[in-house]
Structure 1
Amino acid sequence: MEYSLIRRMAAELAGTTLLCGFGIGAAVAVSAAKTGGPGLLIVALAHGLALAIAIYAFGSVSGAHCNPTVTIALASRGRFPWREVPAYFVAQIAGGLLGASLIYASYGGAAIDAGLGATTYSGNFGHALVAEALGAAILVTAVFALAVAPTAPKGLFGLGIGLALATQIMAFGPASGASVNFARTFGPDAVLSLAGGTVAWGQLLVYLVGPIVGGLVAAFVADRVGSAATVEEPEVFPAPMV
């Protein structure tokens, strides 16, 4: 079924809000509860489950990319029209802002004290860049294998893609925050700045460039080598998910 671009943008806005809101909320909750060691696991699972819910709820409308990295990766392989990438990007950024705003409205000053779940790195620029690229590669590989490939098992795409996101957070969270999603990074940064918090704007380039590079490489490999390569004619995502 074809949906209007406005309706698909609304679905992307809702899905990205869900992903960023619950992901940021989990990070703030962990900080407020001072859970220590299990905190990374909690944050990873919250992101993964929120993404899975967003995919099942909105995947049939917009594809539930919920992430500029995924949209660009799909467009690069002819699985999504380039002319609609800017519209999706706007909806996703708006979703990141709305998700962060809702968590700020829920926690108030405690959210600011916790850094509003903003993704930052304290180590080397290059290490953080590689971590973001690798994390994005895992996510995009899962998207192509589970949502694009016609041989993918039906019904598992949401859970599988969500688990890919959670896995990369557990692997790369300490290195870069494991955002792999510019909307997830920019949303809390912008709200934190407006609320008077401290923002590491100089680190933003890592979260823009790293995920896009990793996503493009993974898309090429998945489309040429992986199961998605069995498709003879490119299909606009999310056709295999409907």
Structure 2
Amino acid sequence: MHPYFAEALGTALLILFGNGVVANVVLSKSKANNGGWIVITMGWGLAVALAVYVVGRVSGAHINPAVTIGLASIGAFEWSQVPGYILSQIAGGFIGSVLVYLCFYAHWEETEDPDLILACHSTSPAIRKFIPAFVTEFIGTVVLVFCILALGKVALGADSTQLAWTTAMGTWFGPLLVGLLVLAIGLSLGGPTGYAINPARDLGPRIAHTILPIKGKGSSDWAYAWVPIVAPILGAVAGAQLFVFSAL
């Protein structure tokens, strides 16, 4: 399997399971309706773990443009591969969102609140203040990248960050640790913004929301879309640099 295809596949699985659990909980007449935040965060944590299990040994399972850029910023990934990875991740996010649309086809017209429909695709702040939302997304992604690198290197005792990442994602425990980390971020920091911490997780599905013929869907909120793109990228670079600076 080509790494670019693996990134697209992994991101599609991430969104299918992740946005799928959101749709399951918030869409009207779903049997999981009103399942709550714990169900959503558990679903996202498992979504990440399963996606990494599937493609980790092929591409390293970045499944996140911010992670790709963060790794490249410290020399743990080739810059020449960054554009291909990012385009693959965004395409995968779009595909995953379309699959969620198909799975819940009968429930969109039963759901009257356009904000809930948008939540099944992309993120939005609980309080509409962009700077606080930016800070939340930035901090969440710093934690994500720093902890992934630290866990991978410490657990494996590897001297090379590149080796630590690629090896950890191909083990049985690496994806599980990443899934638990995403669960922890969602439980602790996810409330203000819905914790995108991943530009492809937000952008691909937001494009799908714009294009798909969903009755009563309302605005795709492109005015906010820059926050879950820019903040995670800057946060990932900061998290990667913090890891290098800490010399763990």
TM-score range, shorter chain: 0.7 to 0.9
Q: Does 1:120 align with 2:115?
A: no
Structure 1 window deviating more from structure 2 (115-124 vs 6-15): it is 115-124
RMSD: 2.0
Query: 1:20-99, aligned counterparts within 5 Å?
Result: 20-32=15-27, 33=30, 35-36=33-34, 39-99=36-96
CA distance in 2, matches of 1:111, 1:11: 30
Structure 2's unaligned 5+ residue stretches are: 112-116, 159-167
Structure 1's unaligned 5+ residue stretches are: 1-5, 228-242
Query: In structure 2, what is the equivalent of residue 209 of structure 1?
Result: 230
Query: In structure 2, what is the equivalent of residue 239 of structure 1?
Result: none
CA distance in 2, matches of 1:65, 1:10: 12
Tell me by how many angstroms 1:173 deviates: 2.5
CA distance in 1, matches of 2:232, 2:67: 9
Tell me by how many angstroms 1:225 deviates: 0.6
* Residues 161-199 of structure 1 deviation map (CA, whole Å, 9 limit, x = unaligned): 111112112223221110011111112211111125321
Tell me by how many angstroms 1:224 deviates: 2.1
Q: Does 1:173 align with 2:190?
A: yes
1:151 to 118, 136, 157: 157
* Residues 69-122 of structure 1 deviation map (CA, whole Å, 9 limit, x = unaligned): 110110000000001000000100011000000000111252474323421114
Kindly provide the amino acid, as one letter, of the partner of residue 120 in structure 1.
Answer: S
Asked if 2 retains the 8 angstrom alpha-carbon contact of 1:11 and 1:58, the reply is yes
CA distance in 2, matches of 1:148, 1:88: 23
CA distance in 2, matches of 1:107, 1:168: 27
Query: 1:106-145, aligned counterparts within 5 Å?
Result: 106-108=103-105, 110-111=107-108, 113=111, 114-115=117-118, 116-123=120-127, 124-145=129-150
Give the secondary-structure state (helix, strand or coil) at the position aligned to 1:174: coil
Query: In structure 2, what is the equivalent of residue 194 of structure 1?
Result: 211
Structure 1 window deviating more from structure 2 (89-98 vs 120-129): it is 120-129
Q: How many aligned positions are there? A: 221
Asked if 1 retains the 8 angstrom alpha-carbon contact of 2:6 and 2:59, the reply is yes
TM-score, reference length from structure 2: 0.82
Give the secondary-structure state (helix, strand or coil) at the position aligned to 1:201: coil
Query: In structure 2, what is the equivalent of residue 160 of structure 1?
Result: 177
Q: Percent identity?
A: 33
1:183 to 200, 204, 215: 200
